[in-house]
């Protein structure tokens, strides 16, 4: 079973409208409590290797690591829940604990993200921005 902060491959076909399709990496954003309870769906953010610079808040850069061999952008505006059967292989990599811990900052904890309930787009964007800033911080 996946864990929060891991990147897995998921089959997002069939796509609808502007949804990203095909098999692609996704960030597991679901609360660990729901993952541990074997909830039948998982909150994810798809990644793409079609990079667009200076595209925040819609895209956040994730550097290559582990089996995620290419720099990728999180498609923040495509946040969604998928059936767990769409998760086909993983984990490809895991965002460092410190990175996911920053997503649990007081501002994010006050949101429903950490509880796995409804999502407010700005709160998601803010949490993912913290992740991206940590990931690209060369001073650590």
pLDDT < 50 stretches in the chain: 102-119
List alpha helices for the chain, DSSP H. Answer: 32-36, 97-103, 106-109, 121-135
The pLDDT value recorded for residue 18 is: 83
The pLDDT value recorded for residue 79 is: 87
Q: Map out the domains of the chain with their CATH numbers.
A: 6-135 (2.30.30.110)
Tell me the per-residue pLDDT of 33-58, one tens digit each, with 9 for 90 and over. 888 899 999 999 899 999 999 887 77
3-class DSSP assignment, residue 90: strand
User: How many angstroms separate the CA atoms of 50 and 64, rounded?
Assistant: 13
Query: To the nearest whole percent, how much of the chain has pLDDT over 70?
Result: 68
The pLDDT value recorded for residue 77 is: 84
The pLDDT value recorded for residue 114 is: 44
- Terminal-residue alpha carbon distance, the chain: 30
The pLDDT value recorded for residue 140 is: 52
């Amino acid at each position: 079973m996946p864990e929060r902060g891991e990147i897995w491959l998921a089959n997002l076909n069939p796509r609808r409208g502007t949804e990203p399709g095909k098999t692609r990496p996704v960030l597991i954003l679901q609360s660990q409590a729901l993952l541990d309870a074997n909830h039948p769906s998982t909150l994810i953010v798809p990644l793409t290797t079609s990079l667009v610079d200076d595209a925040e808040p819609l895209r956040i850069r994730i550097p290559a690591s582990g089996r995620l061999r290419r720099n990728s952008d999180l498609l923040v505006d495509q946040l969604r829940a998928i059936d767990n059967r769409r998760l086909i292989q993983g984990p490809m990599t895991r965002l460092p604990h410190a990175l996911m811990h920053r997503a649990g900052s007081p501002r994010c904890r006050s949101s429903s993200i950490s509880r796995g309930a409804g999502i407010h787009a700005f709160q998601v964007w803010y949490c993912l921005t913290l992740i991206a800033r940590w990931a690209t911080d060369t001073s650590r």
